[in-house]
Amino acid sequence: MEISYNIIIEAICVTILLLYTWKVLNWAWFGPKKMENCLRQRGLKGNPYKLLYGDLKELTNKLNEAKSKPINFSDDIAQRLIPFFLDSINKNGKSSFVWLGPYPVVLITDPEHVKEIFTKNYVYQKQTHPNPFAKLLVQGLAKLEEDKWVKHRKIINPAFHVEKLKHMLPAFYLSCSEMISKWEEIVPNETSFELDVWPDLQLMTGEVISRTAFGSSYEEGRIVFELQKEQAEHVMDIIGSIYIPGSRFLPTKRNKRMLEIEKQVQITIRHIIDKRLRAMEAGETSKNDLLGILLESNMKEIEQHGSKGFGMTTTEMIEECKLFYFAGQETTSVLLVWTMILLCLHPEWQVRAREEVLHVFGNEKPDFEGLNRLKIMTMILHETLRLFPPVPTYRRRNKDEVKLGELHLPAGVLLIIPAILMHYDKEIWGEDAKEFKPERFSEGVSKATKGHVSFIPFSGGPRICIGQNFAMMEAKMAIAMILQKFSFELSPSYTHAPFAVVTIHPQYGAPLLMRKL
């Protein structure tokens, strides 16, 4: 009896081992090869699959090589940001496939295909990285799908209404004033002074988010900002490597640090939320910061339906606050730094923008109505977003088998939309697509794009960035206030080296020669 019992145990163990072995082999080889054959049969060209790594080694080598050399302003920025994807498109056509490890990636550049992908957000969903640690940076609205996304979007929407943005202008102004006062102390009178504006712009946009998200708790919000900044660096390293299932349980230095950061962020934001909820229960009116509006909107939704299931949990609110931080700070800081660099390269536009600002505000504090009247400024910001879109690529995955135009895609394919290529497409923008010409937006985005979905700095469709008006208003305020006080030109020490750390950063900072007006 004992022998037969041991035999049964051994048989079960062997079966489990065989099943697991098959699962690993299917994940690492048979599944990808089947998908490759399917894609080729449907007319797509691409690289042959290589065991486990796919094209990751070549992709990483190309990126490292590109990152090792700065470029000239006339060079192709895409060759530095997405060199491997660009080479694949040149070799295999605009709709071709590559491999991120064992996962096939189809590159999408046709504006009509992009329009369909963004419009049908229930068919083409956000791609989740296989490494669970990648989720530690942001979840919330950016990663949710279907009914849960609809619920969160509805609750968060009031925080970004134009009327609410008006109440956030003092926070924009205060944070910009602190940065400009610091510059006025550093820059001597009547002479230019070299200043790397990039760290200060990052700090300023972080301060704006701390103030607009958490109001009076903004000092605690600063802690979140610093922690999220560190977490982003870890996540970017993870995204560029293959995830071996189960490796997240290894007690590596990075794994432990990422979990520690997440714990600190959760505790800090939960403390702020609990404190705010107690104040609201005690009869205090909700504040006009993002958290106050979010809590009020959430309570209304619960009261209206008489069930907590229609609202967000505290854990879900924490994720939305983390997203405010990451998306809000990153998007605006990169928009500001590239705007200043482009205005250095094109001083005639710096003069035009300053004249407009002084005509509307003089040296007075910018107000909401005046910021909305800055037409030249809006054109400049749009052209900056075209040449340096905050996010160089968007990722989606089709849940089921789909027909996308003439493409017939099997279920589960990762689709990458290279915004950086679409923004430089000569067929849409003309032969001068590489040039800084804000006048192309003089009659608005729709006229500039000739109706194509080819200008996507904030994504598109129902899932277009909820904070785009927030980012644009903050950027207008900051640039207007800088133009009131300073003129600036590129320092000889500036090195042009855009590279992607989620968003497009200047690799060696942005040293400018600042001069007081």
**Structure-block tokens of residue 314:** 């505290």
Q: Assess whether pLDDT exceeds 80 at residue 230.
A: no
Q: Is residue 234 within 8 Å of 258, Cβ to Cβ?
A: yes
The whole-angstrom separation of Cα 316 and Cα 318 is: 5
Please tell me the least confidently modeled range out of 14-23, 163-172, 399-408.
Answer: 14-23
Q: For residues 11-35, give the mean pLDDT.
A: 82
**Structure-block tokens of residue 104:** 């096939």
Task: Say what percent of the chain tops pLDDT 90.
Answer: 37
Q: pLDDT per residue over 48-67, tens digit each?
A: 989 888 888 899 899 899 89
Q: For residues 251-258, give the mean pLDDT.
A: 82
Question: How much is the mean pLDDT over the chain?
Answer: 86
Higher pLDDT, 134 or 56: 56
Q: What SS3 string covers 305-326?
A: HCCHHHCCCHHHHHHHHHHHHH
Q: How confident is the model at residue 456 (pLDDT cuts 50, 70, 90)?
A: very high
Query: Which residues, 6 or more positions from 498, have their beta carbon under 8 angstroms from its beta carbon?
Result: 71, 77, 80, 81, 388, 504, 505, 506, 507
Q: Assess whether pLDDT exceeds 90 at residue 506.
A: yes
Q: Which of 156-160, 181-185, 260-264, 459-463 has the highest mean pLDDT?
A: 181-185
Q: How confident is the model at residue 274 (pLDDT cuts 50, 70, 90)?
A: confident
Q: Does pTM surpass 0.85?
A: yes
Q: In Å, what is the CA distance from 79 to each residue of 106, 456, 499?
A: 19, 19, 10
Task: Say what percent of the chain tops pLDDT 70.
Answer: 91
pLDDT of residue 218: 65
Q: How confident is the model at residue 133 (pLDDT cuts 50, 70, 90)?
A: low
The values of phi and psi at residue 204, to 5°, are -65, -45
Q: Strand, helix or coil at 196?
A: strand
